[in-house]
Amino acid sequence: MNPDDRKYTEEHEWVKLEDADSRQALVGITDFAQEQLGDIVYFELPEPGSTVAHLGKMGEVESVKSVSDLFSPVSGEVVEVNAALTDNPEVANNDPFGDGWLVRLVMSDPAELDGLMTAADYESYISGLS
């Protein structure tokens, strides 16, 4: 259920390398994360052009009665923020691994991917949580 084409963090974000040459990658939250949050009502995301740090705070996600920090799985420069989330944050509930992506960034150190979890690692990680 967690796609194999990307890597995962313990904070329930994923990163998917779109293009190795340009180091462009998408970042989002996992299905487990959206399930735990319930109805997502708002994202606070970094501005395009800003830089984010490896496992550093990059924003917040709000449900009706909770606020959680979002962490970037990798360091890099944000090039695009998913505009669909501004008016329809529920897209991240409905399609967290697809249309519900949060930011597109250019990674500064692709080697950081090696330190993240595979889909299989992440699945055993979350089964240990519940």
- List of residues contacting another protein (CB under 8 A): 39, 41-42, 62-67, 88-90
| Closest of 63, 68, 17 to residue 41, by C-alpha | 63
Task: Name 87's Cβ contacts closer than 8 Å, sequence gap at least 6.
Answer: none
Q: Rounded CA gap, 127 and 5, in Å? A: 20
The least distance separating another protein from the CB of residue 25, rounded to whole angstroms, comes to: 28
- Closer to another protein at the Cβ: 25 or 45? 45
User: How many CB atoms are closer than 10 A to CB 73?
Assistant: 28
- Closer to another protein at the Cβ: 42 or 115? 42
- Closer to another protein at the Cβ: 57 or 80? 57
The least distance separating another protein from the CB of residue 15, rounded to whole angstroms, comes to: 26
